[in-house]
Structure 1
Amino acid sequence: MSYSHLNQPLVVANVHNLVMDILANIISFNEIMDKLNGWYYPFMNHLNSDLIYSQAVVAFFSSTQAVVGDTYPENVIWDHDKTQRFINMLSCYRNDIENERNAFTYQESQNKIRLHGYVNNMITHYSRLLFIRIDLKYAQETSHLVSLEDFYCHMNKLRELIGKTKGCFEHLQGNAWALEQGGISGGLHCHLLLMYDGSKRQNDWHIAKEVGEKWKAITGGLGEYYSYHDPKRKQKYKQYGKLGIGMIHRDNPQEVENAVASALYLTKPNKNEQQLKLWLPNMRTFGHGVYRTSKRRGLPPISK
């Protein structure tokens, strides 16, 4: 089996998932041995001491090193004995992995509270807001060309453009974003929420397309996007009374409820499998705009 397509985030995600499967006892011994022989060398080849890894990945590294010692990664063959010793070693890290999972769930619950308050303030302040929901990611066939550092750089460029509120971000009044990594594919992606002044902007499908095309430009053509604003998709949600994107009116309780629910998808505490498996020091994985600013009309002056 060829693993040449595995880049830094993908191989780390595979290693993370392997450890979780072993601890959950849902993978056969032979499959573990096969994956060790496929993923150990690429993982060691991509290892970067400047990055922070999930506890499952740390457990993988520590356990494999305890077994193979100073042997060069390209010379390691995972036979029955080495694989069994590796599995036995992993149990030592079970508590660390569980503690990290609990910490992630708690942090997501705090993010949810913050986002809920922010979105409610925005809806209360404006008579109508145009809600845009879009997922920014990378094309599957070229995702192996994207490193975590690339993703971080692309997101910084995007946030800079959002802050300037020009072009496709003109009349933008609020935003929120969450960085995640696919549980199976390991793909890095961003869930993005944009809230525009509904008296200035109306065409949500067109704006979502503009933002998506801007992301593709930022990534040099490596990026792609998923828009929730396809008319057929919106109509389906509308039929069930669940449409929470597009024009949201403050005096329509159902629209407001749906919009809040759509926004809070960015912070679901039970999405453990979507958490990043590696990150840069001080790298934020969630954020939203500031409600109380001197530029927002109708608010009392901010005391100094």
Structure 2
Amino acid sequence: MNSQQKYLNPSRVLINIEQFVERTIASRYAWREFHDELIDLLFDLHAIFDFELQYSAYVEAMLELIWQNNIACKIDIDQLKALSFKQVQQGFDRFKRSRDKEINDFCRLESRNRERLRDYLDDLLGHYSKLLFVRVDLAYLKGKQHKVNVWQFQQDVRELLGFIQDGDRCFRDLEGYAWALEQGEEKGFHCHLLLIYNGSTRQKDYYLADQTIQRWQEITEGNGYGFNCNTPEHKSQFRKMDSLGIGMIHRDNDREVQNAIQACSYLVNPEKSNQQLRVKLLRMHTFGTGSYKRNYRRYRGIPSLNA
């Protein structure tokens, strides 16, 4: 194993591969460092590859190159260097249809999830006179992302959802929640989290968001961080535009209700295909909500990321 491999950022490697494949397909000619970049990325992918995981279409394109140029479980560098740019490009181009289908499937799923979230919010807003909406974005420090693969990400989110379901500490008086998992170029693996509290028993949305971030930092053993959407400064930007949809939301205020639904819809956005996971566990879910039951003030769902 290369001495630097243990410092590879799994999320960054997969995004670099995706961008490389896209650039190769779109280019008319090879650039000067094409073969060096190709070989480096193939070795990086070989180092992080896991047979138990599912990869995106363009990562699969690179995996095919590994299998085709592999001798005794080792990548044949000379064989790779002998490949022309056109040969590599044609190999990648065979995956373009799968990539297009992948994006279309993502957009359809996000649209269905958005409708599901809006129905969920309609139920809650129609049942409580006021609700406290709290939004946080949870990710990993850039210098710690090399420690986080999709297995660790799932484990951390599962632990967080377990605390949410138990109504532990800052999650007391919680009436609903929703989460969405993404993977970005800068943030790596991250989670958008919406928490909805009974507005008759909970205020101080900034404090609750801050406590949630602290819980995430505990779960990730200091490797995680969070963005608090409920700071006075952040909310004031939207209040000036009359579009504030977090904080205290009153059922009899149509503007507040519509703003809340609009703000929460960001969790599932068909236009954010560049934020989809490039690697998943089998049957892994990337979005979920709590379960709403009209007959009960409290609920308990199953905090699972898998079917």
Same structural fold, with TM-score higher than 0.5 when normalized by the shorter chain: yes
Structure 1 residue identity aligned to 2:134: I
1:115-142 CA distance string (max 9 Å, x none): 0110111111111110001000000011
User: Which residue of the partner structure matches residue 142 of structure 1?
Assistant: 144
Question: Is 1:47 the equivalent of 2:49?
Answer: yes
Superposition deviation, residue 69 in structure 1: 3.9
User: 1:290, 1:79 → 2: CA distance?
Assistant: 55
Superposition deviation, residue 80 in structure 1: 6.7
**Secondary structure of 1:201's match?**
coil
Superposition deviation, residue 16 in structure 1: 2.1
Structure 2-normalised TM-score?
A: 0.89
**Secondary structure of 2:291's match?**
coil
Question: Aligned in 2, Cα 1:42/1:55: closer, same or farther, shift over 3 Å?
Answer: same
Superposition deviation, residue 100 in structure 1: 1.2
User: 1:113, 1:241 → 2: CA distance?
Assistant: 24
User: 1:125, 1:261 → 2: CA distance?
Assistant: 19
**Secondary structure of 1:243's match?**
coil
In the alignment, is the contact (CA less than 8 A) between 1:135 and 1:191 conserved in 2? yes
Map 1:19-168 onto structure 2 (within 5 A).
19-25=21-27, 29-66=31-68, 68-70=69-71, 73=74, 75-76=76-77, 78-79=80-81, 81-168=83-170
User: Which residue of the partner structure matches residue 304 of structure 2?
Assistant: none
1:221-263 CA distance string (max 9 Å, x none): 1110011112112111100111111001111111111110111
Structure 2 residue identity aligned to 1:160: G
Structure 1-normalised TM-score?
A: 0.90
- Which is further off, 11-20 or 262-271? 11-20
User: Which residue of the partner structure matches residue 231 of structure 1?
Assistant: 232
Question: Aligned in 2, Cα 1:24/1:260: closer, same or farther, shift over 3 Å?
Answer: farther
Question: Aligned in 2, Cα 1:28/1:234: closer, same or farther, shift over 3 Å?
Answer: farther
User: 2:244, 2:127 → 1: CA distance?
Assistant: 21
User: 2:272, 2:164 → 1: CA distance?
Assistant: 26
Structure 2 residue identity aligned to 1:94: K
In the alignment, is the contact (CA less than 8 A) between 1:13 and 1:186 conserved in 2? no
Gaps of 5+ in 1: 298-304
**Secondary structure of 1:265's match?**
helix
Superposition deviation, residue 25 in structure 1: 3.9
1:245-286 CA distance string (max 9 Å, x none): 100111111111111011100110011110000011121110
1:36-94 CA distance string (max 9 Å, x none): 1321111111111011111111112113433x242754652553734442112111111
User: 1:185, 1:6 → 2: CA distance?
Assistant: 15
User: Which residue of the partner structure matches residue 172 of structure 2?
Assistant: 170
**Secondary structure of 2:282's match?**
coil
Gaps of 5+ in 2: 299-307
Question: Aligned in 2, Cα 1:91/1:195: closer, same or farther, shift over 3 Å?
Answer: same
In the alignment, is the contact (CA less than 8 A) between 1:105 and 1:270 conserved in 2? yes
User: Which residue of the partner structure matches residue 257 of structure 1?
Assistant: 258
**Secondary structure of 2:142's match?**
coil
Question: Aligned in 2, Cα 1:28/1:193: closer, same or farther, shift over 3 Å?
Answer: farther
Structure 2 residue identity aligned to 1:201: R
Superposition deviation, residue 186 in structure 1: 6.4
Question: Aligned in 2, Cα 1:60/1:168: closer, same or farther, shift over 3 Å?
Answer: same
**Secondary structure of 2:222's match?**
coil
Superposition deviation, residue 30 in structure 1: 3.0
Question: Aligned in 2, Cα 1:32/1:199: closer, same or farther, shift over 3 Å?
Answer: farther
Q: May I ask how many residue pairs the two structures share in their alignment?
A: 294
Aligned CA-pair RMSD: 2.1
User: 1:28, 1:230 → 2: CA distance?
Assistant: 48
In the alignment, is the contact (CA less than 8 A) between 2:30 and 2:85 conserved in 1? no
User: 2:163, 2:246 → 1: CA distance?
Assistant: 22
In the alignment, is the contact (CA less than 8 A) between 2:176 and 2:291 conserved in 1? yes
